[in-house]
Amino acid sequence: MKLFKSRKNEAGRPDFDRLPRHIAVIMDGNGRWAKKRGLPRTAGHAAGAEVFRKIATYCKDIGIEYFTVYAFSTENWKRPAEEVEAIMKLLEKFLGEALQDMEKNRVKVKFLGDITALSEDLQKLIAETEEISKKYEGVQVNLCVNYGGRDELVRGVNAWIKEHPGQEITEEVLDNHLYTAGIPEPDLIIRPSGEYRLSNFLMWQSAYSELYFTDVLWPDFTTRDMDEAIIAYQSRDRRYGGIK
């Protein structure tokens, strides 16, 4: 249930009766945020994790149904081992706290990506989080971990070939073999930090998504920045290749 009334006539605020159903975010700029402050990159990731909590809570409060974030890509393993380890510890910390507060927050959590590459402890935490939270209704938060759009497509096609050798694959069939099966395509994809690319994020699902870019680094991203992204989305005419 929405906690905000419609404010379509209020200047500078979104129309909360016409919200996108699914918002996805590429959480970018943590390292640059830390560097600007003379801090280690790990400090940027910690700050970014706190912003994720705030924005996810805001999405829940205003009535967004699905909120998906790019937390760790298949290419991020190339980063220094110390940085990768810090990210995994942050993920473990987040899951531990999420489990403690799960009944209070009542947010459904789903992980998208190949989690078999993660530690056994992390895999157990992920499985426990998903199992407990699947009964909750309302916002669903999807965390893309060890996720890559191209890798997802290859896995989906290979899964179909294995199940149905010699048969042609269709768009609908492939869609049902992806990590996002059953999840609506994102209406709006936001990328902070001043970069203008998707970086292998939701390559299949983003075919008709509206894109929004901002120079704000992720650790500086606020609910006001989210409002501005939604306002920009609401100003666009989505035709899906047709004519209106």
Q: In the annotation, is 175 catalytic?
A: no
Alpha helices in the chain (DSSP H): 30-36, 41-62, 81-105, 120-133, 149-163, 171-175, 223-234
Whether 28 is a known active-site residue: answer yes
Q: How far apart are CA 1 and CA 139, in angstroms?
A: 10
CB 161 within 8 A of CB 140: no
> What is the rounded CA–CA span in Å between residue 39 and residue 33?
8
Asked if 29 and 217 touch (Cβ cutoff 8 Å), the reply is yes
Candidates 28, 151, 187, 225; catalytic one: 28
Angle between helices 41-62 and 223-234 (to 10 degrees): 60
Catalytic residue chosen out of the listed positions 61, 76, 200, 220: 76
3-state secondary structure of 144: strand
Closest CA to 149 of 78, 200, 207, 205: 200
The token pair that represents 238 in the structure block = 């989505």
CA distances from 149 to 28, 142, 217 (A): 17, 15, 23
The set of catalytic residues is: 28, 76
